[in-house]
């Protein structure tokens, strides 16, 4: 028999000489089906697809009398399995499958472990990267903090420099005005000295000689003696005139000296009140600035017009307000000086704005400001003047901001004058830190 599934036919027979056609058969295949198969008179058994194994084919027959021979005939055979149906093969296969499964499992475990290791490596890598980034970030934050601190320090230094420049600007303006007044005082004194030098007192001695000659005994008054009274009257008139002139000059000199005293007092006041908040009548302060500038304005032929509306007193740092006003009034003079306007004038205005603010404006008809310079003029060091510094407006705008207000400029353009507008709160904001 060949290995593998098998189709077999087993033929059998029984001998009977009497009635062979009446012989009946039954058969069974032990190992496949233990039940008897009634085959009738058929003399073969057919099996298809028998699995490998050991079989025992048994066939019995009955004769024409219906008597069964229960012994029958037996044929044992074996259907050998194909190799893959063999037990060893199955065992081998099972072992192989188990081995493969084991190997697969091992592989999987290995892979999982490898993935795990890779994951751990990546986590470690990421962690290291993050730590590095974190360290960099911390470093950057530190650097930023340092830069911020430096920037704040620089800002503070700049503010302090601006403040000092502003104070220096004011001091220089004040000194300039003192210089102006001193100049006219100087002119007055030399004029007086001149006049005194030219005062002709010799004529008096000559007149006395003529009188002496006339009064001598036996002398008739001559022509000269007769003209003497008229001459003396003329001399009196001359002395009178000179005296009046010199008195007027002295009065001017005294006024100048008073003005110098006033300016010095103003400057002392300015330096003393720095950083203190006090109730101030803004119009008084503006007046004192305009008074200080009066000789200078007069000298340059500038008219001053005051238009003050009633406004409440403001609580503010007088020092800062003076700094701003001096700068604007000084700039207005320079602007008028630089224009060819025949009637130079400056209008100083004060008025309330809303319930809690005040506006001071100084308008001149001077050289004007080009539109593109309207904001640039407030930057540190911007100047168009030959002897200018460009500190005044920068410091003034800064001071206005510190007071919770603003300083702005308006102009219709070159040659058409300019207006500086200072707006201030009547009470400073709580954040105002007096400097
Ligand atoms: N009233 C004004 N009219 C025209 N220009 C002005 C006026 N005030 C200021 N400016 C311009 O702003 C510039 C800066 O002024 P400022 O900061 O006071 O510095 P400085 O007076 O030293 O030039 C001036 O040089 C001038 O060009
Ligand atoms: Mg100036």
User: How far does residue 205's CA lie from ligand 1's centre (Å)?
Assistant: 61
Whole-model pTM? 0.61
Nearest ligand to the CA of 396 is: 1
- Cα angle: 385, vertex 293, 421; to 5 degrees: 70
Q: How far is the CA of 391 from the centre of ligand 2 (A)?
A: 7
Q: Is the CB of 369 under 6 A from ligand 1?
A: yes
Q: Please report the sign of the dihedral spanned by the C-alpha atoms of residue 377, residue 383, residue 384, residue 385.
A: positive
The secondary structure of 81-141 as a DSSP string is: PPGGGSHHHHHHHHHHHHHHHHHHHHHHHHHHHHHHHHHHHHHHHHHHHHHHHHHHHHHHH
Q: Identify the CA nearest to 368 among candidates 408, 420, 416.
A: 416
**pLDDT tens digit sequence for 110-144:** 888 888 889 899 999 999 999 999 999 999 999 99
The domain made up of 275-435 has a fold known as Heat Shock Protein 90 (3.30.565)
Domain segments of the chain as ranges: 6-85, 275-435
Angstrom distances, CA of residue 46 to CA of 7, 32, 74: 8, 12, 16
Q: Which ligand is nearest to the CA of 393?
A: 1
- Provide the edge-to-edge strand list for the sheet that holds 357-364: 302-308, 344-353, 357-364, 418-425, 406-410
Q: Which residue's C-alpha comes closest to atom 27 of ligand 1?
A: 384
Distance CA(72)–CA(61), nearest Å, equals 7
pLDDT the model gives residue 273: 56
pLDDT of residue 432: 45
Residue 381 sits at φ, ψ, to 5 deg, of: 90, 0
- In the block, residue with structure tokens 């007193």: 313
DSSP secondary structure code for residue 310 in this structure: P
- pLDDT in the model for residue 5: 64
172 pocket-lining for ligand 1 (C-beta < 6 Å): no
Instruction: Quote the ligand 2 centre to 418 CA distance (angstroms).
Output: 14
Helices 223-272 & 318-337 angle (0-180, nearest 10): 130
Ligand 1 atom, smallest distance to 389 CA: 22
Residue 35 Cα to ligand 1 midpoint, Å, equals: 131
Cross-sheet strand order for the sheet of 33-40:
33-40, 24-30, 53-62, 68-79
Within its chain, how far is the Cα of 335 from the centroid?
35
Residue 272's pLDDT is 63
- For residue 326 and ligand 1, the question of a CB distance below 6 A is answered with no
Site to probe by mutation for ligand 1, drawn from 172, 348, 377 as the one with most ligand atoms within 8 Å of Cβ, is: 377
Find, among 86, 77, 84, 85, the residue nearest to 58 by Cα.
77
- Ligand 1 within 6 A of 385 CB? yes
Under DSSP, the state recorded for 27 is E
* Strand-pair category, 344-353 with 302-308: parallel
Q: Which of 339, 341, 373, 393 to mutate to test the pocket of ligand 1 (most atoms within 8 A of CB)?
A: 393
Question: How many residues in the chain?
Answer: 435
Bridge partners (DSSP) of residue 46 are: 9
Tell me if 335 CB under 6 Å of ligand 1: yes
Q: Does the structural domain 6-85 have CATH classification 2.30.30.30?
A: no
- Of all ligands present, the nearest one to the C-alpha of 369 is 1
Question: Any bridge partners for residue 11, and if so which?
Answer: 44
pLDDT tens string for the chain (435 positions)?
A: 666 667 888 999 888 777 777 888 999 999 888 889 998 889 999 988 888 888 999 999 988 788 888 888 899 988 887 777 777 887 888 888 888 888 888 888 888 888 888 989 999 999 999 999 999 999 999 999 999 999 999 888 888 887 787 777 888 888 888 888 888 888 888 988 988 888 888 888 888 888 888 777 777 777 777 888 888 898 889 889 989 989 998 988 888 888 888 888 777 777 665 677 889 999 999 998 998 898 889 989 999 999 999 999 999 988 889 889 999 999 999 999 999 888 999 999 999 999 999 999 999 999 999 999 999 999 988 999 998 889 899 989 999 999 999 999 999 999 999 999 999 999 988 754 444
Q: Is the CB of 367 under 6 A from ligand 1?
A: yes
**Residue reference for tokens 């709580």:** 430
Cα of 348 from ligand 2 centre, angstroms: 17
Instruction: State the distance from the centre of ligand 2 to the C-alpha of 332, rounded, in angstroms.
Output: 9
The finding on whether 177 has its CB within 6 A of some atom of ligand 1 is no
Specify the ligand 1 atom closest to the Cα of 420. Answer: 1
> From CA 167, how far away is CA 326, in angstroms rounded?
11
Look-up of token digits 């930057």: 379
């Amino acid at each position: 028999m060949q290995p593998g599934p098998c189709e077999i036919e087993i033929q059998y027979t029984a001998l009977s000489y009497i009635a062979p056609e009446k012989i009946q058969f039954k058969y069974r295949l032990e190992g496949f089906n233990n039940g008897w198969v009634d085959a009738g008179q058929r003399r073969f058994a057919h099996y298809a697809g028998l699995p490998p194994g050991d079989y025992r084919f048994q066939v019995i027959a009955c004769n024409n009398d219906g008597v069964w021979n229960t012994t029958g005939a037996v044929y044992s055979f074996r259907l050998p399995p194909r190799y893959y149906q063999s037990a060893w093969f199955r065992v081998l296969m099972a072992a192989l499958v188990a081995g493969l499964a084991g190997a697969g499992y091992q592989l999987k475990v290995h892979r999982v472990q490898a993935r795990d290791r890779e994951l751990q490596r990546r986590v470690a890598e990421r962690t290291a990267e993050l730590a590095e980034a974190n360290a960099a970030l911390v470093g950057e934050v530190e650097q930023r903090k340092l830069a911020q601190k430096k920037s704040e320090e620089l800002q503070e230094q700049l503010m302090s420099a601006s403040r000092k420049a502003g104070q220096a600007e004011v001091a220089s303006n004040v000194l300039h005005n003192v210089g102006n007044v001193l100049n006219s005082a100087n002119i007055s004194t030399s004029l007086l000295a001149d006049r005194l030098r030219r005062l002709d007192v010799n004529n008096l001695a000559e007149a006395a000689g003529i009188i002496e000659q006339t009064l001598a005994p036996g002398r008739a008054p001559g022509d000269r003696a007769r003209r003497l009274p008229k001459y003396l009257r003329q001399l009196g008139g001359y002395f009178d005139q000179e005296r009046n002139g010199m008195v007027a000059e002295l009065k001017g000199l005294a006024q100048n000296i008073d003005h110098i005293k006033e300016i010095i007092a103003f400057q002392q006041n300015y330096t003393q009140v720095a950083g203190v908040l006090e109730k101030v009548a803004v119009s008084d302060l503006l007046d004192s600035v305009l008074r200080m500038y009066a000789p200078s304005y007069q000298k340059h032929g500038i008219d001053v017009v005051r238009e003050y509306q009633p406004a409440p007193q403001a609580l503010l740092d007088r020092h800062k307000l003076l700094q701003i006003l001096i700068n604007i009034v000084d700039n207005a003079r320079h602007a008028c000086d630089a224009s060819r306007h025949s009637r130079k004038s400056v209008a100083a205005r004060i008025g309330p704005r809303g319930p809690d603010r005040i506006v001071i404006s100084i308008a001149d008809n001077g050289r004007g400001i080009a539109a593109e310079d309207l904001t640039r003029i407030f930057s540190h060091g911007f100047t168009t003047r030959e002897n200018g510094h460009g500190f005044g407006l920068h410091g003034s705008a800064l001071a206005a901001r510190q007071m919770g207000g603003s300083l702005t400029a308006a102009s219709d353009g070159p040659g058409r004058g300019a207006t500086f507008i200072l707006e201030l709160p009547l009470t400073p904001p709580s954040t105002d830190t007096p400097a």
